[in-house]
Amino acid sequence: MARTPIELLSPADQERRRALSRMKTIALGALIAMAVLFCIGFVLQERYPAWGYLRAAGEGGMVGALADWFAVTALFRRPMGLPIPHTAIIPNRKDEIGRTLGEFVETNFLAGDVVRQKLDTTPIAARLGAWLREEPNAQRVGSELSTAAAGILRALSDDDVQDLISDLARRHLIDQDWATPAGTWLGRIVETDAQRPAVDLAADTIANWLSSNHAAFQGLISRRLPGWVPKLAHRFVDDTAYNEAVKFVDAVREDPNHPARHAIDGYLARLADNLQHDPTTRAKLEGAKSGVFDSPKVRQLASDAWQTVKTGLITALEDEDSALRARINAALADIGARLADDASLQRRVDGWVTNAAVFLVDRYRHDIASIITDTVERWDASETTEKIELMVGRDLQYIRLNGTVVGALAGVTIFAVAHAAVQLFG
């Protein structure tokens, strides 16, 4: 199996590889030590029988070390490259290991009751509130939200937004019937006499205009008189028209039952009825509506308005000192304070989060667990083997050391029992 060059590994994996190499060297050294002891004991046991114990210890240690070396090596590769059955387990069964791991996580971790039990004991809202109420944290969240919002605004297609606005305008403005609701609304206004303040306002406005625009009446009527009429008569006619207009408006303002008011009321009542029942009036309103909202100028106005709003929002979102950013940060800090102090709100938020998490886990736990399975299946077998070996290989080398020690002790024990049996029954 080709090893990844150490410079391509992460710093943590580089340290793991160095630790693994050290442990392999120690385990190999223990095997060599057992071999040396075996050789010494084997040579000297004929002359000095007690050295047989040393030979037995070395022999048992070598057997234990070699057996555990084979077992550990067989997990990751074929020992000595030999095609021995049931070796190189991890690279040969990588996909099955991924499926098993995914099933294990799905069964034991992505279960609704497990998630609910954990979240029920976690004060999510209180912790979030305590963190969010701190101004630096609120500013950090506000900055991230503003960056995301600005990115979304930039990513939006102006043509798509304009089409959406046009579709919404057509659906809710152009295609909707305005005549019937407008007639109904106007009829209710007349029935409740709610139009009187509007009439009063109109009369007051006209009166104020008349008092400030006497000159506007100069020549208004007199210019239509024959040329032989004296100029003094011209002025008299214009002043008379002005004074009559002022008197008429003042009379309307002062008399709640003035005929002009009744005429306006009657006109509004007829208009309300026509808007609901007269096809001609209804058609005129619909035509005027379509002429306004289907006008290219209106569509251009909507486009310009969107560009203005978009540019303004992006500028405000990107400016840390803008009023919008300040309000966002203040709102987040206020939310954090409420979450930290309001026990009732904490319970509601914790309940919402828990229910949402349980719903997502119950509904999508297989899809979530499949991420593990799919990811492991995409991994290269050699790379996967190396990653796993770096993670657990150092600990597995202790098995080789333990096997060496246990083998040596077992060898001595077996030799001692056998020697005692020979002495007793020989």
**Average of per-residue pLDDT across 402-413:** 92
pLDDT digits (tens, 9 = 90+) for 54-99: 999 999 999 999 999 998 888 888 888 778 888 888 888 888 888 8
- Identify the domain boundary among 234, 269, 303: 303
Do 291 and 190 fall into the same domain?
yes
- End-to-end CA distance of the chain: give it in Å, rounded: 54
Res 170: pLDDT? 66
Domain count, the chain: 2
Residue 104 maps to a domain? no
- Identify the domain boundary among 303, 318, 334: 303
Whether the pLDDT of residue 143 is over 70: the answer is: yes
Q: Which helix (H) or strand (E) holds 244?
A: helix 231-254
Residue 248 maps to a domain? yes
Res 224: pLDDT? 64
pLDDT digits (tens, 9 = 90+) for 98-136: 888 888 888 888 888 888 888 888 889 999 999 999 989
| Higher local confidence (pLDDT), 375 or 350 | 350
Residue tagged 């009063």 (tokens):
200
Domain range spanning residue 47? Answer: 6-92+380-425
pLDDT digits (tens, 9 = 90+) for 283-302: 888 777 777 666 666 667 67
Whether the pLDDT of residue 10 is over 80: the answer is: no
Res 214: pLDDT? 79
φ/ψ region of 389 (left if φ > 0, alpha if ψ in -120 to 50, else beta) reads alpha
| Helix orientation angle between 231-254 and 196-212, rounded to the nearest 10 degrees | 150
Say which residues have a Cβ less than 8 Å from residue 188's Cβ, sequence separation at least 6.
194
pLDDT digits (tens, 9 = 90+) for 188-219: 988 888 888 888 898 899 889 888 887 777 76
pLDDT digits (tens, 9 = 90+) for 228-281: 656 666 677 777 888 888 898 889 888 888 888 889 889 988 988 888 888 888
Residue 146 maps to a domain? no
Residues 119, 352: Cα–Cα separation, whole Å = 11
Structure tokens at 165: 């606005």
Q: Quote the longest CA-to-CA distance of the chain.
A: 168
